[in-house]
Amino acid sequence: MALELISSSKSFGGFQKIFKHSSKETGCSMTFAAYIPPQVAAAADGDTSKKFPVLYWLSGLTCTEKNFIEKSGFQRFAAEAGIVVIGPDTSPRGCNIEGEEDAYDFGTGAGFYVDATEEKWKKNYRMYSYVTKELPVVVAANFPVDPSRQSIFGHSAGGHGALICFLKNPGQYRSVSAFAPISNPSVAPWGIKAFTGYLGSNQDAWKQYDATHLIGQYTGEKVEILIDQGGADDNKANQLLPQNFEEAAKIAGHPLRYRDQEGYDHGYYFVASFIGDHFKHHAKFLA
């Protein structure tokens, strides 16, 4: 579990770092970003037993670990709240799987946070287990975080990832939120392509990774989910289908704060505009 430091820059009194490590789940070297808020250094001067809450960010298609840390401006809020923020890359890279580089929405940069079962992908494309099992262990071993206080959020395919990681693991995450998540991938083109490729054609297997299906089966504490969706997002009606998730949450009696943000598109200007609200949401549960 040795980490290699790739870069470190002071940001809002803390440090935005990028690390690389050898992953057992994906069978390759993975990078992740870690924001260490100023409170960590301050605590290290005195009480070394102090542990901090940790918030996982999952990015969307085509992203690496860099998009969120460079474009969302989240560090301002992580620094204020004293939260460690971890953002993994979105897929294995350089595994020499035929076709891994062929599309923006499948393979490299598009792990979709599932554990692949199809022969060609199943050795490396295990982003679900990487994010929910291996990465938290690596993080707890290397940073002063309190594993009982972790939450998760993400954007687009990463919003899908955040919702399924939360819904499939009652108790592991205290809260969840998403920006423009792929809410019902089993019936949307991006999701159908990814799930067919990674999981095969049996659609029952797809349901295990579909938030709109999973929310009806969720057995944990019904903490309110926050979702922001850009009203001018070109992908909304075709790929993201927030209304399907909203409907399923209603049927399941799961509290959902769904906000349609008029005029906003799918990009990081949208994320940056509301990232502060998402920190407020999680800080309530992580306190």
List, by residue number, the catalytic residues: 156, 233, 266
Strand 256-261 to 14-22 pairing: unpaired
Alpha-carbon distance of 171 to 123, in angstroms, equals 28
- Contact range with its own copies by CB under 8 A, out of 113-121, 238-246, 247-255, 262-270: 262-270
Alpha-carbon distance of 17 to 65, in angstroms, equals 11
**154: nearest Cα among 186, 112, 126, 190:** 112
Asked whether position 269 contacts its own copies by CB under 8 A, the answer is: yes
Nearest approach in angstroms of CB 59 to its own copies is 15
Interacting residue with its own copies among 76, 123, 207, 222 (CB under 8 A) = 76
Nearer to its own copies, 1 or 232 (CB): 232
User: With contact defined as beta carbons under 8 Å apart, do 72 and 275 qualify?
Assistant: yes
Interacting residue with its own copies among 56, 195, 245, 268 (CB under 8 A) = 268
Give the N- to C-terminal CA distance of the chain in Å, as an integer. Answer: 28
Nearer to its own copies, 126 or 155 (CB): 155
Interacting residue with its own copies among 2, 4, 9, 234 (CB under 8 A) = 9
Nearest approach in angstroms of CB 6 to its own copies is 14
Nearest approach in angstroms of CB 272 to its own copies is 6
Asked whether position 77 contacts its own copies by CB under 8 A, the answer is: no
Interacting residue with its own copies among 1, 6, 141, 232 (CB under 8 A) = 232
Asked whether position 5 contacts its own copies by CB under 8 A, the answer is: no
Nearest approach in angstroms of CB 63 to its own copies is 13
- Contact range with its own copies by CB under 8 A, out of 4-12, 49-57, 137-145, 243-251: 4-12
User: With contact defined as beta carbons under 8 Å apart, do 175 and 80 qualify?
Assistant: no
Total of residues contacting its own copies (CB under 8 A): 22
Which of the residues 36 through 75 are near its own copies (CB under 8 A)? 70-71, 73, 75
Interacting residue with its own copies among 62, 142, 169, 273 (CB under 8 A) = 273
Q: What residues does 126 pair with on adjacent strands?
A: 115
DSSP 224: P
Angle at 251 between CA 263 and CA 170, to 5 degrees: 90
DSSP 57-111: EE--TT--SHHHHHHS-THHHHHHHT-EEEEE-SS------TTTTSBTTBBTTB-
Alpha-carbon distance of 112 to 90, in angstroms, equals 7
Q: Where are the alpha helices (DSSP H) in the chain?
A: 38-44, 66-71, 75-81, 127-129, 135-142, 157-167, 189-199, 203-207, 211-214, 242-252, 268-286
Nearest approach in angstroms of CB 29 to its own copies is 24
**276: nearest Cα among 179, 140, 145:** 179
Asked whether position 13 contacts its own copies by CB under 8 A, the answer is: yes
Interacting residue with its own copies among 24, 272, 284, 287 (CB under 8 A) = 272
Kindly list the residues in this chain that would bind its own copies in the complex (CB under 8 A).
9-13, 16, 70-71, 73, 75-76, 230, 232, 263-265, 267-270, 272-273
